[in-house]
Amino acid sequence: MNKTLKLSFALKNTYRVNGILHSIRQIPIIRRLVPSAVYGIRGFKIFANVLSCIWEIVSVFLGKFLYFLVMVAGIGALYDGPADRIYLHILVFLSVIGAFSNTYMFNPTRDKYYAMILMRMDARSYTLVNYGYAILKLIVGFLPFSLYFGLHRDVPAWICLLVPFAVAGMKAAAAAVTLRDYEKTGKAANENKLDRFGWILIAVLLAAAYGLPALGFTLPVSLTAAFLVLSAAAGLLSARKILRFDSYTLMYKEILADSMSQMDVAKDAARKQSERAISADTTVVSHRKGFEYMNELFVKRHKSILWKASKRIAFVCLTLVLGLWLLFYLQPAARTATNRVLMTFLPYFVFIMYAINRGTSFTQALFMNCDRSLLTYSFFKQPGMILRLFAIRLREIIKVNLLPAAVIGGGLAFLLWQSGGTENPLDYAVLFVSILAMSVFFSVHYLTIYYLLQPYTAGTELKSGTYRLVTSATYFVCYFMMRVRLPILAFGLACIAFCILYCVVACILVYRFAPRTFRIRV
């Protein structure tokens, strides 16, 4: 077991270190200072190993912290009612989802392929060592945040201490059931390929986790505590099955069968999916000229990628607005709470607009089905041409994103009025326009970083450490905005002004730098 543990850690660390060194060489300024032979230089390898160790420690806690902060405590704070019951209610249902959708055992990762298929390591030893390590990280990562967030919501300390072991027990029980199912049917499970029943179950459990508290129903603390105790006990009983299971080799051969070829195919999956989404209708034509002609054909032939999703999001948002409006009449007390939220929670919608924006899919489709070919021509990279096409494309993606933004902005203004209104009528206009400004900002932002950091190779593989850093930073800034509380007028006007300024700066940056940066990455 000790030898297996050392080998598995060495394998994962080598893979991660090489990835860190590759990412460093992709950063434009640093790339000039780092030689191409960086993978063989001891100093760089030590530096990458230190970063790898830091990331391993951070990964134990960061994901769990965000999970508690956003999914459990953050959303739970939006409901009225006993804080302890709401907190435990949401936590239990989300934990059940994670028990079967993220078991840590039935995920065909690259390191498992290398270890068990290429290096022919003992599958049983490798699985038990890595599964045990994953469960240990889960318990260690959950424990501090379970105590912190639970105690702040008046949850008894013994329940807070029990939560990490109960969550681990749920995962172990789910793994044991899956192993028994394999013995009976001979069919190996792959948690990355849930069947229809699995997705339906996730939808039902999510509805129970977040929908029932909105209707004023939550599980009693005594019931959730009993469930957590049973889950921890089930984990202990399931450990016997996991330890005694003797078909890990056969099971993983099935799970990992052709996995390397599947991983290679996965690199082209997005491209093929995007190509299939192109309309083959020969009647799609355009009467415009130049770049306008090319852009109109692109938009018409990619209507299913661009407008279909946008219309669906707009429909869902409209349904939610009407649902809340109906709730005002069924539960008049909800009006006061909603009005209070709308008056100070406008920064929260920065994250929502970030989540629904179609900028990433738009730029991905642009490269795969258009720019990958056009970037081989020198005229396409001239400053004037780039800025002109940038403006045309920006207009189109703004139009796509404005549809759900208009529904959200109009819906929020309507709900503010219906929930009791505001003393300053200007708040309605600012609320609506600021949501549109957020949508425009993300449209400009994603298209700008696409032109300045073009991250794709000729094989449509994303290979840009800087692009990943910028998109990650965007996520964390938007997430941080969820914690900000400002009046509609103050934040809305600042948001509108920032959007206008960002658009001007983005056009200048694209004009000056895109001729050098907008190229096919190698």
Span 395-413, pLDDT tens digits = 888 888 899 999 999 988 8
pLDDT at 508 over 90: no
Tokens of 348: 């929260």
Query: In which band, very low, low, confident or very high, does the pLDDT at 435 lie, cut at 50, 70 and 90?
Result: very high
Residue 474's contacts (CB-CB under 8 Å, 6 or more residues apart) are 354, 445
Span 189-246, pLDDT tens digits = 777 777 788 888 888 998 899 888 888 889 999 999 999 999 999 999 999 999 988 8
pLDDT at 91 over 50: yes
Average pLDDT of the residues in 114-129: 80
- List the end-to-end C-alpha distance of the chain, in Å, as a whole number: 41
Residue 141's contacts (CB-CB under 8 Å, 6 or more residues apart) are 60, 61, 63, 64
Identify the pLDDT of residue 162: 95
Burial class (CB in 10 A: 0-12, 13-18, 19+), 207: exposed
Identify the pLDDT of residue 266: 46
Identify the pLDDT of residue 183: 86
In DSSP notation, 388-446 reads: HHHHHHHHHHHHHHHHHHHHHHHHHHHHHHHTT--S-THHHHHHHHHHHHHHHHHHHHH
Query: In which band, very low, low, confident or very high, does the pLDDT at 287 lie, cut at 50, 70 and 90?
Result: low
The span from the CA of 274 to the CA of 295, in Å, is: 16
Name which of 444, 446, 473 is nearest 361 in CA terms: 446
